[in-house]
Chains A and B, each alone.
Chain A
Amino acid sequence: MIIAFTAQGDNWDAPMDPRFGRTRFLLVYDDEADTLGVLDNEAVANEAHGAGPRTASLLLENGADVLITGNGPGGNAGRALAGRVKVFAGAAEGTAREALARFRAGELKEFAI
């Protein structure tokens, strides 16, 4: 399974980013290969228009099955993700590593898009 995280830095100890569209980084974790990929979203974060859809596109291009984030995607991004990615929100606090642990422990609620 490919699990993506919205993060403020480029590694497991980075704090989570509560935003989706303007998240600074997307961390992409392949839990079978146990590898972590880093997507720099700076260009989109600074983009004034349509950040949500653009970040959604980036996420989908990288084959994400699950997204773990803070506030949840806005309407436009949500439309792009619905039916393609399962979103778990409420993980704004702590690091990406901690967010993964909470996800695995079943502590995060699925976000209805």
Chain B
Amino acid sequence: MRIAVASGKGGTGKTTVSTCLAALLAPEHPVALVDLDVEEPNTQLFMDGELLHREVVHKHVPMWRADQCAHCGQCQQVCNFGAVLSLPDEVMVFAELCHGCYACSELCPHGALPMEPQPMGVLRHAVDGELALIESRLEVGQEQAVPLIKHTLDYVDARVPAETITILDAPPGTSCPVIAATRHADLVVLVTEPTPFGLHDLSLAVETMRLLGREMLVVVNRHGLGDDAVEEYCRREGLLVAARIPHSREVAHHYAQGHLPLAVPEFREALGALAEVLAGRSS
């Protein structure tokens, strides 16, 4: 079963929830925690294990072969992203703009733009007993998160057994990296906070998940801190608030330290109930 943990707004507690759910479920179930926030992956700051596998993930970009080139300009013509420039004496490729569609390469009449691998990030797979910790990290300077997210999900498909409860820590926001991370999830847990920013971004996240046809649950973190507007919104929209995690400076302190706040009773209780629901659903 695949459970994505997402949020419209960053900083609502997405990673706190995904890591703690993994920690609560792992003793009794096979669990995989997959960090798909490839621009700023944080899960390994809180949980780590023995390294099982590490791979450099590549994207393919066209590389110009001067000796084959007839300077026809076809490559620049067929690139929709402005990633290939056919200059009088040189064909220039702008790798960060390249989407890897292969059009210029395959449509070049002279085979002057073969696609070559270029490193874009690193995938790391560690294990802690029955818990698999998979994280992908985009190289700083690489601008596109989506290809790495897709590759990581393919890796999970291939390497993680179907009975595993797979928790996907998604990136924040609602644009294409989030879509890539959540679109095939069986369930999406949306983490929000009871503030105007939390509410606004939750409504965008809900719209996104509806577009993707994903089933959702809402978790309200820092409950008690702001106002009731988020609860009102969930009521109006028929969204289930599956957990309310009380605001606590102690929890924030644990988190700041890089520790899972499971030692704080109210926190553990709130998430524990959610973990049970998820465990029940996945069997």
- Per-residue CB contact flags for chain B residues 140-159 toward chain A (1 = under 8 Å, else 0) read 00000000000000000000
Number of A-B pairs whose CB atoms are under 8 Å?
37
Of the four ranges (under 10, 10 to 19, 20 to 34, 35 or more), the interface on chain A belongs to 10 to 19
* Contact yes or no, A49 B92, CB < 8 A: no
Of the four ranges (under 10, 10 to 19, 20 to 34, 35 or more), the interface on chain B belongs to 10 to 19
* Contact yes or no, B94 A50, CB < 8 A: yes
Q: Which residues of B contact A84 (CB under 8 A)?
A: 87
Distance between Cα atoms of A56 and B97 in the complex (Å): 15
A39 to chain B, nearest CB (A): 16
Q: Which residues of B contact A101 (CB under 8 A)?
A: none
* Contact yes or no, B80 A56, CB < 8 A: no
Given contacts A76-B97, A80-B92, contact A49 B85 (CB under 8 A): no
Distance between Cα atoms of A51 and B83 in the complex (Å): 10
* Contact yes or no, B94 A76, CB < 8 A: yes
Chain A residue with Cβ nearest B76: A57
Q: List 23 A-B contacts (CB under 8 A).
A: A47-B82, A49-B80, A49-B81, A49-B83, A49-B97, A50-B81, A50-B82, A52-B82, A53-B82, A53-B85, A53-B92, A53-B94, A54-B82, A54-B85, A57-B76, A57-B86, A57-B87, A76-B94, A76-B97, A79-B92, A80-B85, A80-B87, A84-B87
Spell out B's residues near A (CB within 8 Å).
76, 80-83, 85-88, 92, 94, 96-97
